[in-house]
Structure 1
Amino acid sequence: MKKAICLELEYFKGSAETVQGVDPCEQNHYDIDRGYFKNTGNGNGVYLVASKLVLVVFIKPDEAEETANICDHKREIYIDKFFKDRFGRLTKRNLELISKTMPTTVEVKKTFGRKGTEYYQVSEEDLNKWYIRCEEEKEKSKRKKK
């Protein structure tokens, strides 16, 4: 596990695009350029792109790692799945809570995907602490309104 400094949160809004003239035999699939395709029948289909919540972090290099470019240590970590599972939807209010309670540092772990791609994950403990801070902030705002 390495320490990482949280720089910013980026939110990418999802979309749904309806298309006509779809072949009735066309299967549901993933298109790299347009997202997930779902055949809804009657010559119609929908391309779905999920929203994304990205935490941009700076990972402190080890003494052994000497790179001239500082951008080599700046990484994007997808954290939307964790918060979507907890909140249900990433509404404007929930996004404000998440960004307001963003920690200054988190623990990250290097992981490798099926195809050998390298990516980082925020530790489950740090994400749970972050979520608890969101819930506490939500309770504070409810008390202020009353």
Structure 2
Amino acid sequence: MVKPEGISPKISGSTRFYPYFKDCVGAIDGTHIPAMIKGRDVSSYRNRHGFNSQNVLAACNFDLEFIYVLSGWEGSAHDSKLLNDALSRRNRLEVPQDDQSSDIEEADNPSQQQQRSEANTWRANIANSMWEDRPRNAVNEEYEEDQYDESEAHNGY
């Protein structure tokens, strides 16, 4: 099994992904591999789609390298059963614990709230710029002046 070494540069270098994946070492998923089964075991290898298969659990890192594969389970086995088996075997899937800290300072990567605030400011600036650059004609100018006069009248100033 490949041991994770810190945060992948693909994650640490991305303000889009870092807030969500800073503690991830990879991805895990299951798939069904078609199988030819004979004898009385045929029914246990039939998956929910109706064909015979082996259920395979695999984990990979962000460099798309497999770090764990568990194969051989019947197609009818649920993914949670495979995951439980992968975590309890002698050569089990190792999951890093929470006490492992990242090598990158949080200050270097803006929080989701900071990113949202910056995005909202950017959107407001774009909208204001578009409003300033809009095409104008005499009819629009008179309408806007009338609207402005009415708003002052309602404010009581």
TM-score range, shorter chain: under 0.3
TM-score by length of structure 2 reads 0.21
TM-score by length of structure 1 reads 0.22
Structure label with greater radius of gyration: 2
Q: Which has the higher strand share?
A: 1
Q: Which has the higher helix share?
A: 2
Q: Which has the higher contact order (CA 8 A, sep 6+)?
A: 1
